[in-house]
Amino acid sequence: MQTTAKLFTSGNSQAVRLPKAFRMPGDAVWIQRDEATGDIILRAKNDDQRKRNLAELLQLIRDNPFTEDFIPPRDDAPRPSPFEDWDERVPAQGDKR
């Protein structure tokens, strides 16, 4: 659904008056600007739902412990220097490399 909302100034801030069909629960929202499009996105800041989601996530982690193959072993051997054969001498004037 798309409609028009009114903008107004409140103190030094700009505000938007949401139509009834777009009302959100609570007294605060998360706001984000999409850098690619410039769109402003409002999301309901429902802390109760976030706490439930976090509790569910933590329970899933407890119920499904990580196995040894979750993060494969890595090779900690030092990498060869990309400048190993670098010639640091300054060429003489007129010298071509």
pLDDT tens digit sequence for 19-35: 999 998 888 888 999 99
- Residue 32: its pLDDT value, please? 94
Measure the CA–CA gap between 10 and 66, rounded to whole angstroms.
Answer: 51
pLDDT tens digit sequence for 36-53: 999 999 988 877 777 788
User: How do the domains of the chain map onto residue ranges?
Assistant: 6-63
